[in-house]
Structure 1
Amino acid sequence: MALIAGKGALPTHLARALATQDAPFLIAQVEGAEMENPDALPVETFALERLALLFERLHDRGVDRVVMAGAITRPRLDPERIDPRTAALLPRILPMLGQGDDAALRAVVALIEEEGFAVVGADAIAPDLLPPPGVPTRAQPSPADKNDAARAANIVATLGAADLGQGAVVAQGLGLAVETLPGTDAMLAWVAAVAGACRPDPGGAKGVVYKAPKPGQDRRVDLPTIGPATVEAAARAGLAGIAVEAGGVLVLEPQETVVRADARGLFLWVRSP
């Protein structure tokens, strides 16, 4: 197994899961998108300009499966670093950089599969990161919160059809923010800084952040992810809680996420579609 790693904590969680399964694996990290690595795991770094060399390396190491995890910002290619084999892939690579996330990832998956590797979803490696439906927190969503979550789910479905983000914030039926390329943290930071005054009733529902995959998304790559940091960001944004689509959103450190939510008085609702 090769773990193609980008930014964030998910690669380390998957590496831990693979280690407990006694499954041999290596980690190939995208240059400029370094993963969080508190376990000091051995990591090989590769540049997109030398993607073909990475494929050769994986074949040489006997890799037959690939799992992709972590955020990757769109790189600026340096023509002087491109090797001849990767140059032959440029007609496929360059259009990816100008597409939406889902379209770009589908193209990457196609390249990997054409090289003979099977692409495996993160949830297949660590199924415990997909929580069952329900509300594991002490706080429970109110009827107004449930209405806001339903409105946010409709917004996310509409965004996904346009290959934009995987999240939205709704309060009192009003869309306060949607997730775009900068991601969930940036969306919640904007809500914390600006959107508080947008709630028409200061004493009414505080609002919900909702996360779900895009309609028709290849769920082997780029499943939405939340964790303890998301709870803290939602609390700073003054929201009542977090709702996620059951079976479609990874929850990192699930126990700690619930503990943080309870400490902040927020609910976590794993909502059936």
Structure 2
Amino acid sequence: MPSLTPKPKTLNPKLYGRRKGRPLSLDLKQAVESASGQYFIDKDNIASAAPAGIDPKFFFKILSPLASRPPTSYWLEIGFGTGDFLAGQAAQHPDINIIGCEAFENGIAKTMQKLLAHKVSNVRIYPDDVRHLLPKLQDGCLDRVFLLFPDPWPKKRHAKRRFVNPDNVRELARVIKKGGEFWVATDDPTYQEWVPEQMSAQSWFQPKNPPTDGFWHLTEPQPWVETNYQKKARRAGRIPKFVVFSNS
């Protein structure tokens, strides 16, 4: 079985908790073995690429040289977990190419199962910290980026680990085209306070259609795919909130 995250180079601060959980079941191992050649982005190619040198088209042309038609958009999901949203969106939008970034091996394997089940060909997986990939992408190459229910790192001493921070927002503003979108969803009260604070301190992104009585929406932006995590949050009494930013 190919390694999902070979010899990882850790960026500091870490934005995720761990790379591996329980040993993969036979079914998950088989999913990885059968799908990695189709879906994986070679991390060595990324590491050796020049800054701002990669057009996302490269990932899809290398693995799908006979694609029947050009995509209408390029999307990227940061930390796709077990792939509910990623696989669902790919199945619903075959004309859109989607890159998913995730460092947790077990989540990647479960996502592979879902991609195979949906029989999609418009997804590529970068099996590592998205901060290795973003600096290598060309300016304005993405139409939409998703950050859905990220690890909130609720303790104050861990605040530097939260993805929404000035450095990462600046990088997103570079790779998302003008008029493109950055979607954020969270059910954590700490993160629901943190995101408005951080985003109000920058000038690139502005909320689209903000509610009249605050910052967050209580209904999902569309098109949406509800995840198992989101369902569990609602059952536990937590309130998922959503915001869409436009890159100006």
Measured against the shorter chain, the TM-score band is: 0.3 to 0.5
* Structure with a larger share of its residues in helix: 1
TM-score (norm 1): 0.33
TM-score (norm 2): 0.35
| Greater Cα radius of gyration, structure 1 or 2 | 1
User: Of the two structures, which has the highest relative contact order with CA contacts closer than 8 Å and spacing of 6 or more?
Assistant: 2
